[in-house]
Structure 1
């Protein structure tokens, strides 16, 4: 719903179909291969092999099912960044690589007991680095390989999102689901930290949305709805690493920073001409890295700002960089291979027609034309690739 609302209506069904690919091909790839690379017997701290094992006392079936959800989340981050111009068959191959190979390898570093980042003490409770930084910077690499949508940077006006209320509804569902994402990572319904984790998750999201709204009013001269949605999502991403380790006050501070960072990061990504229709790189990549580092600042036991400790901050910086670089480099290699072997981008005429009729037999809305102007209420402004508003020129 989030992605379908942010893209143009002629590509909304394709956005939905890509998420179905995540849920089907991605889930199977992780179950058959990825879970064993991630949680199999350790090989030198870098990858697992053999049959996967889970936490003692927890049914392996329950653990695998929970972990499948995380793998799908990584793929869905990439889906938004490559929207409106990636070949459907090529996207399937990319998802297989992400869920079966790329994410499990770096996930092993962080979440396997013998992973090299876990052994030096990295803290990433529910995946700011393992899922969001890795997936966000993988999305950046693939967006760069694909290139921008036709006419995206050759015109003054940007592309108008097809349905902001639909995108908002998707954002609200994500917000609600995040309680299972974060609090569920205790793997124990009787864990006494559940309430603290859930409250920290909510407060960071609220702060992220609030600061994004305020900052968009200051910087863009309007209360931008796309930036408000991405603001509370950024708060959620940023608190995911530290939700079990920081105070409620720190969660608010983390969220406030995330809401500002998402707008600045989206502008930077646009300067790279890395067309990202939903703002996935800014939301997940940059705020995943920031949230990971923030644990080193605000951790109640070993944080720099709480107890003057520097070791954890160094570890968190190392982990954030490692996950981000791995995501970018591995995705860049996979993207280049896919481009060379089968092509990665749709033909110009297919992109113009829309991917819904090309791949899925759904006639596009005749009123949905690339020449459609930016929001009529603000003719002096244009919609950016992240669904936000930015000054022309």
Structure 2
């Protein structure tokens, strides 16, 4: 890796790390004013905890050592001590490899952090911080770290195409590992914690739409590192395609979402624009390096329209996914992952291939969804029945910021 590629790797790592504060602002603007600290702290809590776990053992678990393994040995290089010690070597090649390995490990950590942070949106306004942190650590260990190994670290999803004699699964930046994974866990937690007090359409209004747009803007900015970041290990071969698709699909999804809002409710909203942008970013994540730009625009429109419709399902089906993690991340991740089966360059059903690409995409997507949901439900249920996961109804109604954190998001001096 030359110095330019290494510099891009560090830059992309910083961009993706910045996305977690973006999630905090996006989610923070969507909740009520007396829960904004609680909501943002869930993202920052994930940033602290998952970073530590990743350095200690998560990175080791994210790559398998051989065929048939579900995850890597968590103690293989505990705390990354071996990689760090290689920096003292007199062998310049070993030193360079250690630097690349440590930067790559840090880049991978940012994906783990934001995946966990995304889940928190489903339990806004009603979750205990300590219980959330406990869940986050267990879920990351049992689900995210192994799934990262499945998708990118030599595990069964990466090898699925070869095992079946079909094309390889395409998940360039995390449609399965990040968005389907987080969305399925979010659905499980929403079911475990139950509905907010007074849950009904229109009952919970975003308290700060400018925060929502700020968060969406930060996320879009950081997503260029999220999608194009891994090109440091690929000689920057597809970086042009990735960045244009990250722009185009996202922009198209904004339009798709706003059109649905206009048709359904008569008014396009700022929250809808921000949500549409996230839906497009989610959908293009697995597909960014494997779609022609025109098909990326079409994907964006489809994601914007379908995710705008999907967020209404919680009212029809009776699950309180507070901030639409299921409707945007689970549905958007499924759309982007399965869409490749039809339009992936060279292997999609309509772009030179057959049903093989769609088959492996579906197996990977639904396999991750099922695993994440089941484990998240079991872990969340166990926490709720032991130490408790949900705050009392009285605290929820009053607003949980002063109860849980002893702070208020907005303090107005009467003097």
TM, length-normalised to structure 2: 0.83
- In structure 2, runs of 5+ residues without a counterpart are 1-24, 84-95, 161-167
- Whether the 8 Å contact between 1:357 and 1:364 is mirrored in structure 2 is no
Give 4+ residue runs of structure 1 displaced > 3 Å after superposition. 363-367
CA distance in 2, matches of 1:225, 1:305: 35
**2:342 is equivalent to residue 297 of structure 1:** yes
**Paired residue for 1:144?**
191
**2:78 is equivalent to residue 38 of structure 1:** no
CA distance in 2, matches of 1:157, 1:283: 18
- Whether the 8 Å contact between 2:175 and 2:334 is mirrored in structure 1 is yes
CA distance in 2, matches of 1:43, 1:362: 50
- Whether the 8 Å contact between 2:60 and 2:72 is mirrored in structure 1 is yes
**Of residues 153, 156, 169 in structure 2, which corresponds to 1:112?**
153
**Paired residue for 1:51?**
76
**2:389 is equivalent to residue 351 of structure 1:** no
**2:39 is equivalent to residue 15 of structure 1:** yes
**Of residues 199, 206, 225 in structure 2, which corresponds to 1:161?**
206
Q: Work out the number of aligned pairs and report it.
A: 363
Deviation digits for residues 261-292 of structure 1 (CA, Å, limit 9, x no counterpart)? 11221111232222122211111111111111
**Paired residue for 1:243?**
288
CA distance in 1, matches of 2:145, 2:253: 29
Deviation at 1:225, TM superposition (A): 2.4
- In structure 1, runs of 5+ residues without a counterpart are 368-393
CA distance in 1, matches of 2:326, 2:282: 12
**Of residues 297, 314, 321 in structure 2, which corresponds to 1:276?**
321
**Of residues 103, 121, 128 in structure 2, which corresponds to 1:87?**
128
User: In the superposition, relative to structure 1, how do residues 86 and 308 fare at CA in structure 2: closer, same or farther (>3 Å)?
Assistant: same
**Of residues 60, 85, 88 in structure 1, which corresponds to 2:101?**
60
Deviation at 1:296, TM superposition (A): 1.3
Deviation at 1:220, TM superposition (A): 2.1
CA distance in 1, matches of 2:66, 2:252: 39
User: In the superposition, relative to structure 1, how do residues 365 and 176 fare at CA in structure 2: closer, same or farther (>3 Å)?
Assistant: closer
Classify the secondary structure of the residue corresponding to 1:306: coil
RMSD: 2.0
Deviation at 1:25, TM superposition (A): 1.0
TM, length-normalised to structure 1: 0.88
Deviation at 1:164, TM superposition (A): 0.3
- Whose helix fraction is larger, Structure 1's or Structure 2's? 2
Pick which of 219-228 and 256-265 moved more: 219-228
Deviation at 1:176, TM superposition (A): 0.6
- Whether the 8 Å contact between 1:41 and 1:51 is mirrored in structure 2 is no
CA distance in 1, matches of 2:189, 2:316: 16
Classify the secondary structure of the residue corresponding to 1:187: helix
CA distance in 2, matches of 1:162, 1:189: 43
CA distance in 2, matches of 1:276, 1:225: 20
Classify the secondary structure of the residue corresponding to 2:289: coil
**What are the equivalent positions in structure 2 for 1:210-249 lying under 5 Å apart?**
210-249=255-294
CA distance in 2, matches of 1:343, 1:226: 32
Deviation digits for residues 208-243 of structure 1 (CA, Å, limit 9, x no counterpart)? 001100111112222132222111111111011111
CA distance in 2, matches of 1:194, 1:186: 6
**Paired residue for 1:135?**
182
**2:72 is equivalent to residue 25 of structure 1:** no
Deviation at 1:31, TM superposition (A): 2.3
CA distance in 2, matches of 1:205, 1:178: 10
**2:360 is equivalent to residue 321 of structure 1:** no
- Whether the 8 Å contact between 2:37 and 2:408 is mirrored in structure 1 is no
User: In the superposition, relative to structure 1, how do residues 197 and 336 fare at CA in structure 2: closer, same or farther (>3 Å)?
Assistant: same
User: In the superposition, relative to structure 1, how do residues 182 and 151 fare at CA in structure 2: closer, same or farther (>3 Å)?
Assistant: same
CA distance in 1, matches of 2:226, 2:251: 17
**Paired residue for 2:250?**
205
**2:124 is equivalent to residue 124 of structure 1:** no
CA distance in 1, matches of 2:66, 2:122: 33
